[in-house]
């Protein structure tokens, strides 16, 4: 599987993976009082009036209505645009439409009503920042692999956008990638796809690249495990193979973290001297993940960042 095969767009992931694998769990996770999802509709809406519009996800619920999901990454809602989508969906499929707006931005309130008299739209807002990321991460860390559910897959995918003052969204995304490596094969695939889809749209490009590299290794581990099973290798050999690959992934993650840190530093502060590069390369994975990637996004100058680094 080539790294470029990992989708760059959350719309495709939510459409293909969530719709088919997490139908009932999706409703439960968002706390919606609507009938369960029974099918998914194409997200391309060709119309004369608005040409072709691409919505995030459209599902059919058990009562025959449409559930339209939109991901919003800014604090300014697009209610006019959502109204166009809702009207196009309603007239195309001759069904009632519910619109759910999921905010990945760190906000806790947004308008839910657009009223132009004859044209009126009410949306249901979900703020991922209302979720306790610290408590969620502690639970996911302590959930045994055999007890893992599709609900946990969604927790892992949305973890980067929950509230947690002790970590950044980029750090939480990296935590999610590390956790999914210990999951059962099916969940590792689905959770990996969900994490890739969400982070590829909403996080720093350098961190997204690192996550995709890790998920590429995750897919390699899965393929080799399946090959081991097909060839009849003992369970002990299979576990040894997985542990060896995961150890190699951790080493690769450290190198990737170094590259991501240097890329982010260069993006923010310009070219780096050899002493600075050497200092970053001397940090271990924990220091890189827990300190550098967080501080790079918070500090105002290179000197302020360097003052935070461990001194050799």
Q: Which of 130, 160, 190 is the last residue in one of the domains?
A: 130
67, part of any domain = yes
Q: Are residues 181 and 293 in the same domain?
A: yes
Find residue 127's DSSP bridge partners.
103
123 touches 100 (CB < 8 A): yes
User: Are 282 and 151 contained in the same domain?
Assistant: yes
The last residue of a domain, from among 130, 150, 175: 130
Angle at which helices 185-202 and 205-230 pack, to 10 degrees? 160
Q: Name the more confident of 212 and 167.
A: 167
Residue 196 and residue 82 share a domain: no
Any domain includes 12: no
Q: At which of 130, 164, 180 does a domain end? A: 130
Q: Are 43 and 11 contacting, i.e. CB atoms less than 8 angstroms apart?
A: yes
| Angle between helices 185-202 and 150-158 in degrees, nearest 10 | 30
At 222, is the secondary structure helix, strand, or coil?
Answer: helix
**Residue 36 and residue 57 in one domain:** yes
- Residue 310, domain member (yes or no): no
Handedness of CA 53, 59, 60, 61 (dihedral sign): negative
Per-residue pLDDT at 146: 86
Residue 19, in any domain of the structure = no
Sheet holding 97-103, edge to edge: 37-41, 57-61, 66-72, 97-103, 120-127, 113-115
- Residues 51 and 143 both lie in one domain: no
Residue 33 has pLDDT above 80, yes or no: yes
Interacting residues of 165 by C-beta distance below 8 A, sequence separation 6+: none
Q: Are residues 162 and 283 in the same domain?
A: yes
User: What are the start-end ranges of the H helices in the chain?
Assistant: 10-13, 19-21, 23-30, 79-93, 133-141, 150-158, 169-180, 185-202, 205-230, 235-269, 274-281, 285-287, 293-298, 302-306
Kindly tell me if the per-residue pLDDT of 113 is higher than 90: yes
Which band of pLDDT confidence, cut at 50, 70 and 90, is reported for residue 142? very high
Give me the DSSP letters along 6-46.
S-S-HHHHIIIIIHHHSHHHHHHHHT--SPPEEEEE-SEEE
Same domain, 177 and 120: no
Q: Which domain holds residue 84?
A: 32-130
307 lies in a domain?
no
161 and 293 assigned to the same domain: yes
Q: Tokens 């992934």 map to which residue?
A: 249
DSSP 8-state symbol, 132:
B
3-class secondary-structure state, position 121: strand
Q: How far apart are CA 64 and CA 47, in angstroms?
A: 22
Give the count of domains, the chain: 2
* Of the ranges 138-147, 193-202, 215-224, 297-306, the best mean pLDDT one: 138-147
Q: Is residue 221 part of a domain?
A: yes
Residue pointed to by tokens 């509230």: 163
Q: Which two tokens stand for residue 268?
A: 């923010």
Judged against a pLDDT cut of 90, whether residue 136 lies above it is answered with yes
Q: What pTM, to 2 d.p., does this model score?
A: 0.65
Length of the chain: 312
Q: Do residues 165 and 267 both lie within one domain?
A: yes
Compute the half-sphere exposure of residue 1: CA atoms within 13 Å on the CB side of its CA. Answer: 18
Residue 119 belongs to a domain with what CATH number? 3.40.1350
Whether residue 53 is found in the same domain as residue 150: no
Residue 225 lies in a domain: yes
Q: Are residues 125 and 137 in the same domain?
A: no
The answer to whether residues 235 and 268 belong to one domain is yes
24 within a domain of the structure (yes/no)? no
Asked whether the beta carbons of 289 and 280 are under 8 A apart, the reply is no
CB-count exposure of residue 104 (10 Å: 0-12, 13-18, 19+): buried
Mean pLDDT in residue range 172-200? 78
Residue 51, pLDDT > 60, answer no
CA angle 224-228-229, nearest 5°?
Answer: 120
SS3 310: coil
* Residue 99: its H or E element: strand 97-103
Task: Assess whether pLDDT exceeds 70 at residue 29.
Answer: yes
| Whole-number pLDDT of residue 53 | 43
| C-alpha to C-alpha distance for 84 and 90, rounded to whole angstroms | 10
pLDDT digits (tens, 9 = 90+) for 264-301: 777 778 888 888 888 888 887 667 765 655 666 667 78
């Amino acid at each position: 599987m080539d790294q470029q095969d990992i989708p760059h767009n959350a719309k495709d992931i939510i459409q293909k993976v969530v719709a088919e694998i997490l139908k009932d769990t999706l409703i439960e996770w968002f706390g919606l009082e609507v009938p369960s999802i029974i099918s998914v509709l194409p997200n391309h809406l060709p119309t004369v009036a608005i040409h072709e519009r691409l919505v995030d996800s459209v599902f059919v619920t058990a009562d025959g209505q449409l559930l339209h999901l939109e991901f919003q990454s800014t604090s300014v809602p697009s209610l006019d645009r959502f109204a166009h989508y809702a009207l196009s969906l309603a007239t195309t499929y001759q069904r009632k439409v519910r619109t759910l707006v999921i905010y990945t931005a760190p906000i806790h309130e947004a308008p839910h009503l657009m009223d132009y008299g004859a044209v009126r739209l009410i949306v249901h807002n979900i703020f991922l920042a209302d979720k306790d990321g610290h408590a969620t991460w502690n639970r996911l860390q302590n959930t045994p692999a055999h007890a893992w559910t599709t609900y946990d897959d969604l927790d892992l995918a949305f973890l980067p956008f929950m509230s947690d003052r002790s970590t950044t969204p980029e750090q939480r995304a990296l935590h999610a990638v590390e956790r999914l490596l210990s999951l059962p094969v099916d969940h590792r695939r689905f959770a990996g796809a969900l994490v890739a889809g969400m982070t590829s749209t909403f996080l720093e490009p350098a961190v997204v690249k690192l996550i995709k590299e890790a998920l590429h290794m995750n897919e390699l581990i899965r393929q080799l495990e399946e090959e081991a099973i097909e060839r009849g290798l003992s369970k002990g050999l299979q576990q040894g193979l997985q542990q060896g690959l995961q150890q190699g992934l951790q080493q690769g993650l450290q190198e990737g973290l170094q590259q991501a840190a240097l890329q982010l530093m260069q993006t923010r502060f310009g070219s780096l001297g050899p002493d600075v590069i050497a200092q970053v390369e001397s940090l271990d994975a924990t220091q890189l993940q827990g300190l550098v990637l967080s501080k790079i996004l918070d500090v105002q100058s290179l000197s302020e960042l360097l003052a935070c680094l461990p001194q050799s």
